[in-house]
Structure 1
Amino acid sequence: MSLAALIGFLALAGAAAYAQTLTGFAFGLITMGGVGLTGLLSLPDAAMIVSVLTLVNATQMLLKGWRDVAWREFAFVMAASIPMLFVGYWLLEWLADTQADLLRLLLGVAIVVSSLQLARKPEPLARPSGDGSFVFFGAVAGVMGGMFSTAGPPLVYHFYRQPMTLVKIRETLVTVFALNAVFRIGLVVVSGNLPPASTLTGLLAIPSVMGATYAARRWPPPVPAPTMRRIVFVLLFLSGVSLAAPAVFRLLGVSP
């Protein structure tokens, strides 16, 4: 990775960590979307680095927040998420080798759908959802986490509808992301698909992520939460469209 690319990646990871700390998610979406648009890294290598950075961000957030985790719901989510993470990782490796444009299209669509979901506030439920619903959304999150290290959107949609405090929702989501990251990193190591040494310089973003996480907690912006969600929505939507559209043209054999 060149010096210019490394600086760009550090800035991207810092911005993503800042947004994640304020909203409870979006780290993987912002980072992977930025990488897909700029071509700083291959998507499989970027997903590996994002997993490590997600773990750093989550660990920092959970040092004080782990007591607020909804452990029952967490257990049902993880029971389905971990097995499906393996499926998602297999799909990533297969598509990266044979269908790079299809992989970019899937990432773009995932980002667009996630941004549209972010744009609307889920209607809260009067009663907690059944255990099976947490298993279902955990499975979907596992596939997305295995492919792109972006397990957040389906779980965010489901958890933010639950009659829980915002603190409990945020800390439960972050704990899910942390454990998913641990399993995904282990899967990459066991499969022997570690990125080359030059790409691993992206791990220098760890101080950037830690600094942005601390800054977001210590000095949150003077912006109302709904406004922050809209800003993140616009950025994600534009990046998803910009990523998916060229892939569609190439798959159809049409010059954009």
Structure 2
Amino acid sequence: MPPDPGFPIADIAAFLLCVALATAIQNVTGFAFGLVLLGLSASLHIASVSDAANAAMVLTLVNAAVSFSGGRARPPWRLMRPALLGSAAGVAIGVLSLAWLSSNAVVYLRALLGITIIACAAALLWHSKPLHQLSKPAAFVRTGFLSGLLGGLFSSSGPPLVYHMYRQPLSHELVRQALLLAFAFNACLRLVFVIPAGQMSAHSMVLAACAIPVVFGITRWQLGRPIALPQALLKKMAAALLVLSGLGLLVSALQAIV
């Protein structure tokens, strides 16, 4: 798909660099693609938040499709089924809630979410040892619902699931695959609401189309050269990314309030 004449080539090139970095981090930690991409796009003023978010949904699906293709890994459906069921309900309620929540309520909820995410990051570091046994399905349902609700309201579904999964007594690779499956599922759900509502702009489609080869190439390359990092370091990386996510939400809310 050729670049949109109304969209500078330099902006598209900068966006592709942001996508490359976001993809590399996503393939190591299992999350943060949208966080990194939206944060960089906004700070560099190369795309609106809505366009970057819509493009990120499409690219998340591409990343998941490449990661699970070729028999390299199988999506952990059995492990994540309770979380996905909860997430489906949460996304629907979150998206529909935006229609009747006042703008002030949304702003204060965003601020509260930012504070909560930072607290979760601190708890993740404080409780450095994983749980002794896998959480019960009901805990996965609750976490999935909260994740979907935040995704529907603020397009920020990651933190609850990241906190929950990084505390489970599971290998990092399984945690990464589980998060990848969950976020791809949430991206599908949001696209179901966004596309019929006409919220998928031409710019977001151009950005996604241009970035698909970048996501495909980097993900394939990293699958053949996996980076083995210590579990403690990965947990610290996850906590740091959660802090960035929480601060981003908190700062944007405070700016709106002021």
Confirm or deny that 1:67 pairs with 2:74.
Answer: yes
2:8 is aligned to 2
Question: CA–CA distance in 2 between the matches of 1:36 and 1:111?
Answer: 20
Q: Distance in 2 between matches of 1:218 and 1:200?
A: 29
Task: Please say if 1:23 is aligned against 2:29.
Answer: yes
Letter in 2 for 1:178: A
Q: Aligned match of 1:134 in 136, 140, 154?
A: 140
- Within 5 Å, give how 1:46-195 maps onto structure 2: 46-63=52-69, 64-67=71-74, 69=76, 71-90=77-96, 98=103, 102=107, 112=118, 116=122, 122-195=128-201
Secondary structure, counterpart of 1:190 in structure 2: coil
1 CA distance for matches of 2:93 and 2:143?
15
Q: Distance in 2 between matches of 1:247 and 1:68?
A: 36
Question: In structure 1, what is the Cα distance between the partners aligned to 2:179 and 2:228?
Answer: 24
1:12/1:186 CA distance change after superposition, 3 Å: same
User: What's the TM-score, normalizing by structure 2?
Assistant: 0.78
Q: What is the CA distance between 1:141 and its match in structure 2?
A: 1.0
Q: How many residues of Structure 1 are paired with residues of Structure 2 in the alignment?
A: 249
Change (3 A) 1:220 1:92: farther
Q: CA RMSD in A?
A: 3.4
2:204 partner amino acid: T
| Stretches of structure 2 lacking an aligned partner (at least 5 in a row) | 1-6
- Aligned mate of 1:210, from 216, 233, 251: 216
Deviation at 1:79, TM superposition (A): 1.2
Q: Quick one: percent identity of the two aligned structures? A: 35
